Structure 1
Amino acid sequence: MTGFASGRGAIEGYAWDWELRSVNGKGLDLRLRVPDWIDGLETALRARLGKALSRGNVTLSLRVQSEARSGRLQVNETQLGDVLEAIGRIESEAMARGISLAPSRPGDILAQRGVLEAASTEANTAPLQAALLEDFEPVLAAFLDMRRGEGAALTEILNGQMDEIARLTGAAAEAADARRADVSETLRAALARVLDNSEGADPDRVAQELALLAVKSDVTEELDRLHAHVTTARDMIATGSPIGRKLDFLTQEFNREANTLCSKAQSGALTKIGLELKTVIDQMREQVQNVE
């Protein structure tokens, strides 16, 4: 099921942006892009998402900016003292030997290795992690609300498709009743032709074979199973998520019965209904991929 939510937050020294999105998926695939320097954050976020979701390809992105990681530099006082002391000794030695040196410039001193360094990033990240996890809750809530809204719309669509499948199943039953006389007449005519053109054929044996053909062309079981599948699907939809995988399997059963109905049709009207059933079932199958 698709969904999207975003958010922003900040505490002293840090600011961040959230982006949470999902697309359809058979299972639950969580992809997190979060700073690895915040100990334990990814594990905690993954646990919360896994508890709240059961299906979909979900991507969570978190960008954290901090003063310590924004390029701010600080002077290493110890290293600066060592560099200045070394410069003083060099200048004194040069003067003793009558050598004139150009005055040292601040830029030259700062360019010495170790004088300037990045601000320390070894601070305790536990307070930041706690703030992030707290701020994530409204983002997750907004994300789930969007998915629930889409789920409500899907419920109406799926119920409408169930209504259409039920209607077509009823129409198939009527078409099957209407073709019964034609099937019986066709079988009797076939039996007569076989007996007229077969010397020594056992009439009882031929009748048994034709009876088996009649049984194989009967679609009562397929129609009964379609009715049962409609009832089961309605109950699942009324129950609510997570039902996506179960519905996905049930649509395969719907399709199997519709295929068998078409293969047994022996009637233009019944074949047409079977093809319409397959169309609605395929549409339902596509929508079921959106259900958690």
Structure 2
Amino acid sequence: MTRSMTAFARQESQHSWGTLTWEVRSVNHRFLEPHLRLPEQLREIEGILRETLRKRLSRGKVECTLRFVPEAQAQTLQVNESFARQLIAATEQMEQLMPASQTLNPLDLLRWPGVLQDVRIDMEQVKKEALKLFNNALDDLTKGREREGKELAALIEQRLDAISAVVTDVRAKLPLILKNQRDTLCARVADLGVDLDPQRLEQEIVLLAQKADVDEEMDRLNTHVQEVRRVLKQKEPVGRRLDFLMQELNREANTLSSKSIVTDTTQSAVELKVLIEQMREQIQNIE
């Protein structure tokens, strides 16, 4: 299936420990060029992400941004009540030794190591969910690339139909063009009043006809058109192959233009080159 290299996907998931958000966008590029922006605490999964991209995509500049917002409750501190009670009991004993004016400040108690406990987030679980969400984002991105690729393929098919119509038109006109050329040459010779060897004149006419003959170019144009149609139906990435075929189509259009002996075929060659260029621009976005 033809896939575009341009797409955008966003995936978000909420958990008791926080929220993960992936944004993935891709644009056309000759090769696969990933750019990853990750929170520092999730930097360890970068290698896995790059390998996943390599397996899922073949071309395109891909920007992947991950945002991690921990839940406020997951960052709160909890009191180690058992340990705090032991400290309070100890301070009560100390009060018997201290002057009556001395009192225990609760803040001093909280500052004692071990009284406050930091609730840690299980980062392994966060990494696991981030990878899972990343694959979901790539699924959406791929679907978007396929939808746009389908539209691009339809546009290319329209241009291929137009090229086939031009080729058919040139083939139909070619016998008449060659006949008119022959008649024109004979008329000019007659106007000059020069007595030429009929056999030599016929040889010159044949040589001119051979130079103007574009049957081979028309055949190759048709062959390339059929090949483009076949490539568009393949499942693997086809962008580079299509780009090569555009070069070959343009080569045949240039040859047709150089062999042109009348305005009609020149205009046809120009029309072919316009259609080919339109396809080439679209193909720049195909994976």
Query: Shared fold (TM-score greater than 0.5)?
Result: yes
Give the TM-score normalised by the residue count of structure 2: 0.74
Matches within 5 A, 1:4-19: 4-19=8-23
Contact kept, 8 Å, 1:16 with 1:65, in 2: the verdict is: yes
State the Cα deviation string for residues 149-190 of structure 1 (Å, max 9, x = none).
112222221111111111111111122222111233455578
Residue equivalent to 2:248: 253
Residue 218, structure 1, aligned to residue 213, structure 2 = yes
- Residue of structure 2 equivalent to 1:63: 67
Match of 1:272 among 262, 267, 270: 267
Alignment of 1:17-36 (within 5 A): 17-36=21-40
Tell me the TM-score normalized by structure 1: 0.73
Q: Which moved more, 1:209-218 or 1:254-263?
A: 209-218
Report the counterpart of residue 89 of structure 2 in structure 1. Answer: none
Residue number in structure 2 paired with 1:127: 125
Structure 1 window deviating more from structure 2 (158-167 vs 34-43): it is 34-43
| Counterpart contact for 1:191–1:207, Cα < 8 Å | no
- Aligned residue runs from structure 1 range 31-180, under 5 A: 31-66=35-70, 125-180=123-178
Cα deviations by residue, 1:98-151 (Å, 9 ceiling, x for unpaired):
xxxxxxx999x9xxxxxxxxx698x76332211111122222111111111112
- Deviation of residue 280 (structure 1)? 1.0
Please tell me whether the aligned partners of residues 19 and 71 of structure 2 are also in contact (alpha carbons under 8 angstroms): no
User: Is the CA contact 2:25–2:64 (under 8 Å) kept in the aligned structure 1?
Assistant: yes
Q: Give CA-to-partner distance per residue, 1:24-58, whole Å, 9 cap, x none.
A: 22222211112243253111111112111112221
Residue 45 and residue 196 in structure 1: after superposition, are their counterparts in 2 closer, same or farther (change >3 A)? same
Is the 2:77–2:119 Cα contact (8 Å) retained in structure 1?
Answer: no
SS state at 1:249 partner: helix
Mean Cα deviation higher: 189-198 or 236-245: 189-198
**Structure 2 gaps, min length 5:** 80-104, 109-117
Deviation at 1:74, TM superposition (A): 10
CA distance in 2, matches of 1:74, 1:195: 115
Which residue number corresponds to residue 226 of structure 2? 231
Q: How many residues align?
A: 256
